[in-house]
Chains A and B, each alone.
Chain A
Amino acid sequence: MGSCEALIIGGSAGSLDVLLKVLPALRYDLSFPIVIVVHRKYGTDSLLPELLAGKTRLHVKEVDEKERLVAGTIYIAPSDYHTLVEQDRTFSLDYSEKINYSRPAIDVTFQTAAEVYQKKLVCLLLSGSNADGVNGLKSVKSWGGVAAIQDPSTAQVAYMPEQASIHVKIDHFLAIEDMAEFINLLS
């Protein structure tokens, strides 16, 4: 803990409620960027960043192509694009095929960030109804990063974190009320 250089949070059904509870309790001077990848359909573009921005003192914005990841900012993956993290610590957006029936796919962001940040990456997988994120967490572990999941017993839809717990050696199982402190201590 304390050496985190990026936190990626992935989620699907049931994850918005978690984010709305966790974000207000985050310290405003986090020393790393947070990237949030949640499955959502077109038509919600500015609503999610705006809703989350109203819950935190951290700067919240939707990811832009070629944008550099900056500490203390929360980036929201746009709907209908995969969000990749490049070696120069910038984002790229990709309109290739859906993965796990999803675009954005959590796996893509977890996997690309794992290669860049390696041991300095923390990934957190929340509530959801498919297995997106599980392969991404495997990559995170293979590069030496930290894999955390929402404790499935606290998830509105347990399938996604459950699948991760079955297939990946998880470092942290987090109840919703413990997530903000966990994140704050990464700084």
Chain B
Amino acid sequence: MAEQKKVFIFDDNTDILELCTFILEDAGYEIKTSSTSNNIIDQVSGYIPDIIFMDNWLPDVGGIEATRELKAHDTLKTIPVIYFSANNDVMSLADQAGADGYLSKPFDIQELENIILKHLPA
């Protein structure tokens, strides 16, 4: 059996974290969540996900800065980061952060699964 792909979701909206966890676990992924992007390098290094979802508005550090830190890291920079936000400018925010893709909130299950498949082909 193929190894479970690991998804790490950063969002301060605990409803999003809970729902995405149930949805993606159902779809066969292993999930870790965090409501803060503080110490982002330590958090991601401790899990080494296959893909990361990063909310724009996170307390303290924020999604843009956290994504930039990841993309400046020697080894973690290769992990795809999907930026997600309810902000109308999500595409431009993702670009500023150096993310690999973006997802506008609210999104549906198909959009969530499709963007993972796009960046993590089976």
Q: State whether the Cβ of B42 lies closer than 8 Å to any Cβ in chain A.
A: no
Total number of residue pairs linking A and B with CB closer than 8 Å:
45
B20 touches A47 (CB 8 A): yes
Q: State whether the Cβ of A42 lies closer than 8 Å to any Cβ in chain B.
A: yes
Q: State whether the Cβ of B3 lies closer than 8 Å to any Cβ in chain A.
A: no
- Complex Cα spacing A44 to B106, Å: 6
Residue of B with least CB distance to A20? B22
- Chain A residues with CB under 8 Å of B108's CB are 46-47, 50
- Chain B residues with CB under 8 Å of A47's CB are 16, 19-20, 23, 106-109, 112
Total interface residues on B, CB under 8 Å, equals 16
Contact with A along B96-111 (1 / 0, CB 8 A): 0000000001111100
Q: State whether the Cβ of B74 lies closer than 8 Å to any Cβ in chain A.
A: no
Total interface residues on A, CB under 8 Å, equals 14
- The dominant DSSP class at the B interface is helix
Residue of B with least CB distance to A47? B19
Q: State whether the Cβ of B92 lies closer than 8 Å to any Cβ in chain A.
A: no
- Complex Cα spacing A105 to B86, Å: 23
Residue of B15, B26, B105, B109 with most partner-chain A CB within 10 A: B15
Q: State whether the Cβ of B45 lies closer than 8 Å to any Cβ in chain A.
A: no
- Complex Cα spacing A95 to B18, Å: 25
- Complex Cα spacing A41 to B35, Å: 14
Given the interface contacts A16-B22, A48-B19, A54-B26, does A43 sit within 8 Å of B109 by beta carbon? Answer: no
- Chain A residues with CB under 8 Å of B107's CB are 46-47
- Complex Cα spacing A55 to B72, Å: 42
- Chain B residues with CB under 8 Å of A45's CB are 106
Residue of A with least CB distance to B105? A43
Top 4 A-B residue pairs of the complex, sorted by shortest distance between their CB atoms: A45-B106, A43-B105, A40-B15, A46-B108
23 A-B pairs within 8 Å (CB atoms) are namely A16-B18, A16-B19, A41-B15, A41-B16, A42-B86, A43-B13, A43-B16, A43-B86, A43-B105, A44-B15, A45-B106, A46-B107, A46-B109, A47-B19, A47-B23, A47-B107, A47-B109, A50-B109, A51-B19, A51-B22, A51-B23, A51-B26, A51-B109
Chain B contact residues, CB within 8 Å of chain A: 13, 15-16, 18-20, 22-23, 26, 86, 105-109, 112
Chain A contact residues, CB within 8 Å of chain B: 16, 20, 40-48, 50-51, 54
